[in-house]
Amino acid sequence: MQTQASNANGVHEAAALGNGPLLAPVENPRGLMMKLAYFFTRKRFGRVLSPLKIHSARLPAAFGLFYSKVAELDKKLVLPAETVMLLREQVARTNVCLFCIDIGRWATIQASMNQAKFDALESYQTSPLFTEAERAALDYATVLTKEKRVDPDAFARMTRFYTEREICEIVWLVASEHLYNMTNIGLNIHSDMLCDLTRKNA
């Protein structure tokens, strides 16, 4: 059953104003798996995440499990965790996925990563906080995200610092981050303000 925030077709009224999700959040999901997903995300984040309520709740549970698998696969990467998050944040920033930027930053805070570096991500090409290897990977990821093509010079520079496996991992990070980004952008899902909550409760 749709909430009062949506019309008969499930289109969120706020969407007409351009400042809300295109579908109304599902506050009371059907099915045990989705109810459990709501419970555990509320327990972890203090709220049920918007993509779960707006996107996953309308699909078979297997879709939500697929999305969660991406995070599990990241644990198998050999790249440093900070490099992984820098790349994910840069792709999300380039695509302007507000939800992904926010939750990604939340994850870096939880992992006690260098917040000064993430603050300086916009100027990674000149900031002394970044290594040449990080700049090479970020250049490659930025061009691939913006232009949907490989810049030969950026790729060549990246091969000076990373193994073939690591290069494939960088490609995986760009590709899988697009999955998250386009899901949220496609339904106009914005930030859940997790970083504000984290700092407030710190």
pLDDT digit string, tens, across residues 151-163: 999 999 999 999 9
pLDDT of residue 83: 98
Sequence-ordered list of residues with C-beta below 8 angstroms from that of 94, at least 6 positions apart, any chain: 142, 145, 146
pLDDT at 64 over 70: yes
Looking at residue 76, the DSSP 8-state letter turns out to be T
In percent, the amount of the chain with pLDDT more than 90 equals 85
Instruction: Name the least confident of 17-21, 36-40, 42-46, 78-82.
Output: 17-21
pLDDT of residue 195: 85
Task: Tell me the mean pLDDT in the region 46-65.
Answer: 95
Spell 115-149 as b/e; 16+ CB within 10 A means b.
Answer: eebbeebeebeeeeebeebbbbbbbbbbbbbeeee
Task: Tell me the mean pLDDT in the region 57-69.
Answer: 93
Nearest to 186 by CA among 22, 52, 6: 22
pLDDT of residue 18: 61
Domain ranges in the chain with CATH number 1.20.1290.10: 78-189+191-197
Task: Tell me the mean pLDDT in the region 59-85.
Answer: 94
On the 0-12 / 13-18 / 19+ scale of CB atoms within 10 A, 9 is: exposed
Round the average pLDDT of the chain to a whole number and report it. Answer: 90
Pair 187, 55: CB distance under 8 Å: yes
AA letter at 157: R
Question: What does the alpha-carbon distance between residue 86 and residue 134 come to, in Å, rounded to a whole number?
Answer: 8
Angle at 39 between CA 62 and CA 197, to 5 degrees: 115
The more confidently predicted of residues 201 and 48 is 48
Alpha-carbon distance values, 34 to 10, 25, 41 (Å): 19, 13, 11
pLDDT of residue 196: 67
The topology under which CATH files domain 78-189+191-197 is: AhpD-like (1.20.1290)
Pair 129, 114: CB distance under 8 Å: yes
pLDDT at 3 over 50: no
pLDDT at 200 over 80: no
pLDDT at 104 over 70: yes
pLDDT of residue 19: 84
Instruction: Name the least confident of 12-16, 18-22, 113-117.
Output: 12-16
Question: What does the alpha-carbon distance between residue 152 and residue 135 come to, in Å, rounded to a whole number?
Answer: 15
3-state secondary structure of 129: coil
Alpha-carbon distance values, 64 to 70, 89, 90, 188 (Å): 10, 21, 24, 18
pLDDT at 136 over 70: yes
Model pTM score: 0.87
